[in-house]
Amino acid sequence: MGVILGKIVLTGGPCAGKTTALARIEENLTELGYKVFIVGESATEIIKGGIKPFGNKPIDLVKFQELIITYQLSKEKIYDEAALSLPEEEKCVIVYDRGVMDNKAYVKDNEFKEILKKLNLDELELIDSYDMVVHLVTAADGKEEYYTLENNAARTETIEEAKALDKKTANAWIGHNNLVIIDNQYDFKDKMTAVLDNINNLLKNPISIRKQRKFIVDLDKSNLSFINNNEMIKIDIEQTYLIDKDLSDSYEKRLRKKSYNGCNTYYITLQKKGENGLSKIITDKKISEKEYNKLMSMYDEKYTINKTRYSFIKNKQYFKLDIFENNISILEINPTKENKKISIPKNLSVVKEITNDVEYQNFKMAVHNDNKRYILN
């Protein structure tokens, strides 16, 4: 049966970055060979189903939290069973979009105790049922200019309410042995990196540092026999750039279809390119197959690139070898805190480094008549 290597709660205040973080976690861990289960946010699911503690004909708030806890625990049991039903020794990580203790932030302490008593639950056992809790601080606290509720119809909090709820949510998890608070002292990209670093540390994976290195690889002079290694993950990627005439040239909209072990996952990314050459992520989230197909059909002008990505760890460093349709290959290396010195596998023949090549830093697709070469950031 499968092996559950980590049960991780991702929590936080409103507009804290959970949606993007969930997509990044799934993408990162899948490339490292884990089967990742994402348990959706129970409160949002129930509210979207019409059961609400606010608005027209609301349900009692305490009863609402009781229903969420019951629903959450039933889902957790299902995901546990699914993980253990995976093939022999399959590595699995379960990530929860909020855990049971999040409900404590919405009721009084005595009310929460009554709920647990009614359901015959122990608070400490609930807290300890997860291996790690990652709390993302709301944008309302430190990054107020980015605070918005547009991406979640189930949320209604003002900035001050969001800050207060964020504090209550973090306090609900006090007592957990591995509670991580990630605030807004850095930019959003660093915030997401901190999430991945803490999770990889829990799983005892090497921790990447931000500076990524890129190299062109000569496939004809490389020995690729190692790609059949059991510790290497092969993912087919179809990446489509949508030309949105309603957006300025400084924006880039991208769809990704990733295929692994016969299963497909879909992502959308919208980023804005700055004058300094760096990009700011506006949206980066997982979407459904239906949403993906709809977006693909909506845009007449689009550019698609197909590549196969081989991801592996060697000498405590992350490597991604992208092989494009025309056999152009780019090697991406993520130095880690454990090993900052670049050590390229001897069986790969490097043509040149392109880390600081402007042509490769931002979105570019160049087609050369002689070999139809595609270049992709």
pLDDT category at 365 given cuts 50, 70, 90 is: very low
Average pLDDT over residues 214-225: 88
Final residue before a domain boundary, out of 174, 202, 230: 202
Question: pLDDT tens across 327-339, in order?
Answer: 788 998 866 665 5
**Whether residue 197 is found in the same domain as residue 222:** no
In a domain, 370, yes or no: no
Residue 376: what pLDDT? 40
The separation between CA 330 and the C-alpha centre of its own chain, rounded to angstroms, equals 23
Q: Domain ends where: 155, 178, 202? A: 202
Domain that holds residue 181: 3-202
Closest by CA to 68, choosing from 110, 97, 103, is 103
pLDDT at 368: 33
- Rounded Cα distance, 255 and 212, in Å: 22
For residue 159, the domain's CATH number is 3.40.50.300
Residues 346 and 233 in one domain: yes
Domain closes at, from 202, 227, 245:
202
Are residues 71 and 111 located together in one domain of the fold? yes
Per-residue pLDDT at 374 exceeds 50? no
Q: Are residues 179 and 225 in the same domain?
A: no
The answer to whether the CB of 141 falls within 8 A of the CB of 157 is no
Alpha carbon of 53 to those of 64, 90, 107, 166, 301: distances in Å? Answer: 6, 40, 12, 19, 45
**Lowest-confidence pick of 227-231, 311-315, 348-352, 368-372:** 368-372
DSSP, residue by residue, 306-321? EEEEEEEEETTEEEEE
Give the predicted TM-score (pTM) of the model: 0.71
Domain assignment present for residue 62? The answer is yes
Quick one: DSSP state of residue 145?
G
Q: Which residues contact 199 (CB under 8 A, 6 or more apart)?
A: 6, 8, 25, 28, 29, 93, 132, 134
pLDDT of residue 293: 96
Higher-scoring residue by pLDDT: 248, 279: 248
Question: What CA–CA distance (Å, rounded) separates 116 from 12?
Answer: 22
At residue 212, the pLDDT reads 74
One domain for residues 130 and 7:
yes
State the pLDDT confidence band at 231, using cuts at 50, 70 and 90.
Answer: low
Same-domain pairing of 11 and 133: yes
Do residues 191 and 249 both lie within one domain?
no
Phi-psi bin for 58: left (phi > 0), alpha (psi -120 to 50), beta? beta
Check: CB of residue 113 under 8 Å from CB of residue 34. no
Residue 325 lies inside a defined structural domain of this protein: yes
The answer for 145, left when phi > 0, alpha when psi is -120 to 50, beta otherwise, is alpha
175 in the same domain as 93:
yes
- Kindly state the average pLDDT of the residues 281-300: 88
pLDDT tens digits for range 54-94: 888 999 999 999 999 999 999 999 999 999 999 988 999 99
Residue 373: its pLDDT value, please? 37
User: Is 271 domain-assigned?
Assistant: yes
Kindly tell me if the per-residue pLDDT of 271 is higher than 60: yes
In terms of Cβ atoms closer than 10 Å to its own Cβ (0-12, 13-18, 19+), residue 138 is buried
d(CA 116, CA 104): 10
Please tell me whether residues 98 and 19 are part of one structural domain.
Answer: yes
The mean pLDDT of 153-159, rounded to a whole number, is: 70
| Residue 208 domain flag | no
* Domains held by the chain: number: 2
Residue 374 lies in a domain: no
Domain identity same for 185 and 40: yes
Are both 177 and 255 inside the same structural domain?
A: no
Residue 376 lies in a domain: no
Q: Are residues 138 and 115 in the same domain?
A: yes
Kindly report the CATH number assigned to the domain that includes residue 279.
2.40.320.10
Query: Pseudo-torsion of CA 93, 96, 100, 105, nearest 10°?
Result: 140
